[in-house]
Amino acid sequence: MRSLSYHKPKTVKEAIALLGRHGERAAILAGGTDLLVEWKKRLRAFSHIIDLKGISSLKGIEFNPQGHLRIGPLTTMQALASSPALMNGLRVLSEAASRIGSWQIRNRATIGGNVCHASPSGDTLPALLCLNAQLKLEGPQGGKIVPVEDFFLGPGESIAVTEEILTEILIPPLPRSSCGVYRKFALRRAMDLAVVGVAVLGSLDPIRDRIEDIRIGLGAVAPTPIRAKKAEDFLTGRKIDEDIIEETATLASEEARPVSDIRGSEWYRREMIKHIVAEAIQEVLEKIRQGEE
C-alpha cells in the first residue's frame, strides 16, 4: 500500500517551504479533481500532499484599485460560473467555467488547478488567453508575473518550477462595450473533454460599425491553448459580412495544430474550428448590437 503524508499550510510562505523540502515527492492539492485521478491511475508518483485550501489569500474574486479583476486560484468553477462580477466581456470566463464537468465537479475544481494542469483542452484557458490574463507565481526567490500565453509549454507542462505556487490571476480592464462567449464541442453534451474549445472576445467601433478589438482563443487543437493571431489581425478594423466571418474562421483553423486521436481526426477538428469560430463571432456581434451585456 502506498503511504502519503498530508500537510495543510496556513500561508503561501509555508507552502513554498514544504515544496522546497519535499521537491518532486510533493503534490499540490487545490480542488483535487485531477490529482485524485492521477493518484488512482498511478500517473504520478508522490508521497506528500500539500493542501492549499487553508490559505485564505488564495481565494476570492474582486477588483483591485487599478481596475484589474483579481481571481484567487482556489476559486471554484461554480463560483466563477455564478459570479456577478463576470459580466460583459468577462462573461467568456464564466461561460467556460460552466462547461466543466458536473455541478459536483464544478464545486470542487478550481481555476488554479485548471491553469496549472496545463491541459490543451482546459476549458478556462482559451478564455483567459482572450482576457490577456496575467499569472502571479511565488517561489523561494520571490514573486513574478507572467502573461498567460507564456505560461504553457506543452501538454501538462508549464514554466512554473517545482517550488512555485500560483497565487493570483489578474485580468486587466477590457475595451469598452466588450462581449465574450465560449463555445465547446465535445462527444457528449456534458461532462466530457473538449474536442474543440473556442473563446471569442470582441468590441465594435460604434461610429464606423467595424471591429475595434477581437480575440480568438482555441483549446484542444494544439499542444497548448493558443490565440488565433492571424485571424484576429485579419478581422480587426473590418466591416463585418458573412464572407469576412468565414475567411476569419478559415484562418483560425489554419493556425491550429490539431492531432488525430480517439475524439476526432485532425481534419474533423479543423472543420469544427471553422464552424464554431464563425458561430461565436456572429454571436458576439449580435450581443453587442442588441446591448444584451
**Domains, the chain:** 5-50 (3.30.43.10), 58-171 (3.30.465.10), 182-290 (3.30.390.50)
Structural element, H or E, at residue 100: none
| Averaged pLDDT, 119-144 | 96
Residue 258: pLDDT band with limits 50, 70, 90: very high
CA angle 261, 112, 162 (to 5 degrees): 85
| Averaged pLDDT, 1-12 | 86
pLDDT exceeds cutoff 50 at 130: yes
pLDDT exceeds cutoff 80 at 106: yes
| Averaged pLDDT, 77-101 | 95
pLDDT exceeds cutoff 90 at 38: no
Per-residue 3-state assignment (H helix, E strand, C coil) for 203-236: EEECCCCEEEEEEEEEECCCCCCEECHHHHHHHC
Write down the pLDDT at residue 263: 84
Write down the pLDDT at residue 293: 42
The number of CA neighbours under 13 Å toward the Cβ of 229 is 5
| Averaged pLDDT, 79-108 | 94
Q: What is the DSSP string of 220-281?
A: SSSSS-EE-HHHHHHHTTPPP-HHHHHHHHHHHHHH-----BTTB-HHHHHHHHHHHHHHHH
pLDDT exceeds cutoff 80 at 259: yes
CB 220 within 8 A of CB 123: no
Cα separation, 203 vs 205, whole angstroms: 7
Cα separation, 96 vs 181, whole angstroms: 8
* Local structure of 72: helix, strand or coil: coil
Write down the pLDDT at residue 149: 96
Residue 292: pLDDT band with limits 50, 70, 90: very low
Say which range, 1-10, 18-27, 280-289, has the weakest mean pLDDT.
1-10
Cα separation, 59 vs 92, whole angstroms: 20
Report pTM.
0.93
Tens digit of pLDDT for each residue in 195-217? 999 999 999 987 778 999 999 99
The two beta strands, 210-219 and 226-227, are antiparallel
- How much helix, strand and coil, in percent to the nearest 5, is found in the chain? 35, 25, 40
Residue 190: pLDDT band with limits 50, 70, 90: low
Among candidates 115, 246, 123, 130, which has minimal Cα distance to 183? 123
Tens digit of pLDDT for each residue in 40-76? 777 778 889 999 999 999 999 999 888 899 999 999 9
* Local structure of 61: helix, strand or coil: strand
| Averaged pLDDT, 173-178 | 89
Provide the residue count of the chain.
Answer: 293
Tens digit of pLDDT for each residue in 213-230? 999 999 999 999 999 999
Tens digit of pLDDT for each residue in 269-291? 999 999 999 999 999 999 988 87
How confident is the prediction for the chain on average, in pLDDT? 92
DSSP E strand boundaries for the chain = 5-7, 26-29, 48-51, 61-63, 69-71, 134-139, 142-147, 152-154, 157-158, 165-171, 179-185, 196-205, 210-219, 226-227
Question: Which single residue is written with the C-alpha cell 485524485?
Answer: 36
